[in-house]
Amino acid sequence: MCYSAQVHSSYKKYVRMFGAHINIHEFARLYLDGLEGRADVRTAKGMDAMFAEPQTDDEREVRSLVERRNAAFAEGIEQEIFQQRKRKADAERKLETKVTKAATEDVRIAGNKTQAGLRWIEDLKRTELKDRDHRIFPGWYAPVMIAEEGEYVVVPMRYRCRLPGWTEAMEKEKDGTYNARRNRLGTVWRKLFGYRHGVMVIDTFYEHVKREGRQTILRFNPNPGQPLLAACLWNRTTAPGEPELLSFAAITDDPPPEVAAAGHDRCIIPIKPEHVDAWLNPDPSNLEALYAILDDRVRPYYEHEIDKAA
């Protein structure tokens, strides 16, 4: 499965490659949800930066929402840092009179949480983008290109798909739906395969691999280096009293030999640029043609390295 990916968050990349346009209202709705306190709205800094230099009133509105959301997020982190520093100070005072396991753990945990909070604050303030700013994880939002009314459109979607008919509670019981296995497209994913297809442009991806008895995160880089058009399925979920949810999954398949040799059993499916139109405008009566697109994929050699940020 694709545990994590470094996503091309730049809207200009989609414009150059496909002539896509952005659904600015979906981005505004997403950031407004985040501003109003939805803790599940997680976005990569790279996607936020799509609106760093707004050109229209709509883009300026989204930029304002991003800044206000980040300010509210920073305020919450600062409150957490204050609480953790107090927790650490209280535990240290206890240790001065008696060493206990509980107090020792409080010092360690509070120190770690304080440092993590300070890193978050630093990242929020930083303006220069780094590679890790474009990285997403299950549950985070990413720009996905779909076709609507004959046009390519970029919309923000959560990277974990809520299947048709599922409730939030059902989804939590099966939280691995960021990975749509190719051999289950005709069963588990049959209501989306052939109907709602998307593409996510990524540079590289990450996977959990067990090595020497412990979990290690590997980064897989395509050689030659190139943007990969990861095939996706997506869904739009509406329910009374709940905000509309756009969510997606990356389609995965058995890995190429070099990924298998590195210790992982799944790999994304990057489709060829010439298949994008047929993929984004699927014919549900001709699933064989869609399987053929997945089989006629781009096949780079995936070099790997240990994720230094892990």
pLDDT band of 112, cuts 50, 70, 90: very high
pLDDT band of 300, cuts 50, 70, 90: very high
By the 8 A CB rule, do 54 and 60 touch?
yes
Q: Determine the pLDDT at residue 173.
A: 86
DSSP H/E element including 12: helix 11-18
Percent of the chain with pLDDT over 90: 65
Which of 81-90, 216-225, 288-297 is predicted least confidently?
216-225
Q: Determine the pLDDT at residue 3.
A: 64
C-alpha 271/C-alpha 298 separation (Å) is: 6
Q: Determine the pLDDT at residue 61.
A: 95
Residue 8 pLDDT > 70, yes or no? no
Q: Determine the pLDDT at residue 9.
A: 65
Q: Give the closest residue to 157 by CA, choosing from 19, 30, 18.
A: 30
Assign 218 to helix, strand or coil: strand
Percent of the chain with pLDDT over 70: 97
C-alpha 20/C-alpha 12 separation (Å) is: 9
The amino acid that residue 136 corresponds to is I
Burial of 46 (0-12, 13-18, 19+ CB in 10 A): buried
Q: Determine the pLDDT at residue 6.
A: 78
Gyration radius from the chain CA atoms: 21
Mean pLDDT, to the nearest integer, of 255-261?
94
Going through 4-150 in order, the beta strands assigned E by DSSP cover 4-7, 21-22, 42-43, 135-136, 140-148
The pLDDT tens digits of the residues spanning 174-226 come to 888 999 999 999 999 999 999 999 999 999 998 888 777 788 889 999 999 88
Q: Determine the pLDDT at residue 111.
A: 96
What phi, psi does 55 have (nearest 5°)? -110, -15
The pLDDT tens digits of the residues spanning 115-166 come to 999 998 998 888 888 888 888 999 999 999 999 998 999 999 999 999 999 9
Residue 309 pLDDT > 70, yes or no? no
Q: Determine the pLDDT at residue 67.
A: 92
Query: Which residues, 6+ apart, have CB-to-CB distance to 135 below 8 Å?
Result: 4, 5, 6, 7, 44, 46, 206
| Exposure letters 201-239 (e unless 16+ CB within 10 A, then b) | bbbbbbbebeeeeeeeebbbebeeeeebbbbbbbbebee
Vertex 142, ends 13 and 238: CA angle to 5°?
130
Q: Determine the pLDDT at residue 63.
A: 93
Mean pLDDT, to the nearest integer, of 4-19?
78
> Number of C-alpha atoms within 13 angstroms, CB side, residue 219?
16
By the 8 A CB rule, do 204 and 6 touch?
yes
By the 8 A CB rule, do 74 and 100 touch?
no
Residue 39 pLDDT > 70, yes or no? no
For the chain, give the number of residues. Answer: 310
Q: Determine the pLDDT at residue 310.
A: 53
For the chain, give the mean pLDDT.
91
Mean pLDDT, to the nearest integer, of 40-61?
90
Residues paired with 223 in a beta bridge: 301
By the 8 A CB rule, do 285 and 198 touch?
no
pLDDT band of 34, cuts 50, 70, 90: confident
Residue with tokens 């047929």: 278
